[in-house]
Amino acid sequence: MNSGPPPVVERLHAESPLLAPVNAHPWENKVTFNPACVLIEDRAELDRIIPALPFSREVLQRLASFPALCFLLYRAQGAKTAEYDHTRSTMGLAVLSPDLRLLARHDKPVLRPENDFEDLGVEDGRLSKVGDRYVLFYTAYASGAGENRIRIALASTADFVHWEKHGVLKGDPNTVDNKNAMLFEGKRGGKFVMLHRPMTGADAMAIHWAESDELFGEWHSLGTLMLPRRALGFVDTWIGGGAPPLLLPDGRHLMLYHTGNRKSDGTREYDLGIALVDWSRSEPLVRRNEPLLRPSTRLETSGNRELGVNNVLFVCGAFFRNGDLWFPYAGADSVVLGARITAAALAPYLVG
């Protein structure tokens, strides 16, 4: 397996957040994090979606002036009130420019925990375009007898505002607690390919993959794609998928993923990794590098004081624009930040 150095990552906008909690919104006045995203460049698609967005006429006119838009679906938590328990995760909607600058933000969540299989929260979505709809793989956190359940669930939309929930994913991936599910862009041998991360069982806390003939049909696990590697200075390391793997012009896929690491004193650090996958090879994993990025700035190392999550980077979406790789990511489970790998920095990594 090729290694070599990872590409250099540029933190955007002087390391200021793309999104932060809003005190006036009870559902997101604590933390906003783990953003899924898709970039839409097709003019006809934008002209169809923009009028359905819940913004003023002036904001809609401004959005229509952009040649491309990034639609961002982020996880949020707030304070528990007499009317509603906002500590349960919901998902909010924001629209950004292609260079990840905030243009509009909905003041209400677009996805809430509404069903028994997700009554404790809807978490950590990943978005993919399938046909004429956008499909969300997300973590459904549910109360259970004795132990809570963590499973993969599906929802879809045509406009990011109105969602249809399809329930928990069918097949063996959901026979154990599971999360970090996402689609590979495109198909492999006519089948959908999914990453997932079982939390128990054989090779738990590693990146597994699964196949299905139908998106909402039965999924079958195919074992591990990537096992964790112990990071220097830590006593334990685990990994999970990050952004849905992006299809490259040569048919390979570029992956961003996360690595969780624990020190002997119990403190944790979440980093980002990068990998190349080539399905034409008997060993599809061509190259992997970790860390790609480690927490170092104030908003990456220090999170919400009440929740006490520090030293965390987490990615749930990425896209290419003019050859550059752009990705919003969470800092310390509290805010949404932005980063880019330029085409020039990425090119040597894609050779071989």
* DSSP per-residue codes, 242-271: EEEEEEPTTS-EEEEEEEEEE-TTS-EEEE
Neighbours of 99 (CB within 10 A): 14
Specify the pTM. 0.97
- For β-strands 313-315 and 319-321, DSSP reports them as unpaired
Return d(Cα 351, Cα 21) in angstroms, integer: 41
pLDDT of the residue at 352: 75
- For β-strands 170-171 and 218-226, DSSP reports them as parallel
> Once rounded to an integer, what is the mean pLDDT over residues 299-317?
96
DSSP label at 237?
E
Return d(Cα 166, Cα 59) in angstroms, integer: 31
Residue 3 has pLDDT above 80, yes or no: no
pLDDT of the residue at 4: 78
Strands (E), 6-61: 10-11, 31-40
Take residue 2 and report the two structure tokens written for it: 């090729």
Take residue 287 and report the two structure tokens written for it: 């190259």
What CA–CA distances, in Å, run from 210 to 122, 191, 217? 22, 10, 12
All structural domains of the chain with their residue ranges: 21-350
Return d(Cα 92, Cα 161) in angstroms, integer: 9
Per-residue burial over 32-49, b = 16 or more CB atoms within 10 Å of its CB, e = otherwise: bbbbbbbbbeeeeebeeb
pLDDT of the residue at 287: 95
Residue 1 has pLDDT above 80, yes or no: no
Neighbours of 54 (CB within 10 A): 15
Return d(Cα 179, Cα 79) in angstroms, integer: 25
pLDDT of the residue at 193: 97
> Once rounded to an integer, what is the mean pLDDT over residues 266-293?
96
Return d(Cα 143, Cα 118) in angstroms, integer: 8
Model confidence at 91, pLDDT cuts 50, 70, 90, reads very high
Please name the residue that has the structure tokens 């009870």.
Answer: 26
pLDDT of the residue at 312: 98
Three-state SS for 226? Answer: strand
Neighbours of 276 (CB within 10 A): 21
Closest-CA residue to 244 (of 171, 158, 320, 172): 320
Domain 21-350 has CATH 2.115.10.20: yes
pLDDT of the residue at 99: 98
> Once rounded to an integer, what is the mean pLDDT over residues 57-76?
98
Query: Is the previous residue joined to 291 through a cis bond, with omega within 30 degrees of 0?
Result: yes
What CA–CA distances, in Å, run from 322 to 256, 308, 326, 344? 19, 38, 10, 11
pLDDT of the residue at 144: 87
193-213 pLDDT, tens digit each: 999 999 999 999 999 999 999
| 255 and 262 Cβ atoms separated by less than 8 Å | no
Does the CA dihedral 182-184-187-193 come out positive or negative?
negative
Phi, psi (deg, nearest 5) at residue 49: -80, -40
| 212 and 219 Cβ atoms separated by less than 8 Å | yes
Q: What percent of the chain has pLDDT over 90?
A: 95
Q: What percent of the chain has pLDDT over 70?
A: 99
Return d(Cα 219, Cα 210) in angstroms, integer: 6
Please name the residue that has the structure tokens 């749930």.
Answer: 316
Does the CA dihedral 45-48-54-55 come out positive or negative?
positive
pLDDT of the residue at 256: 98
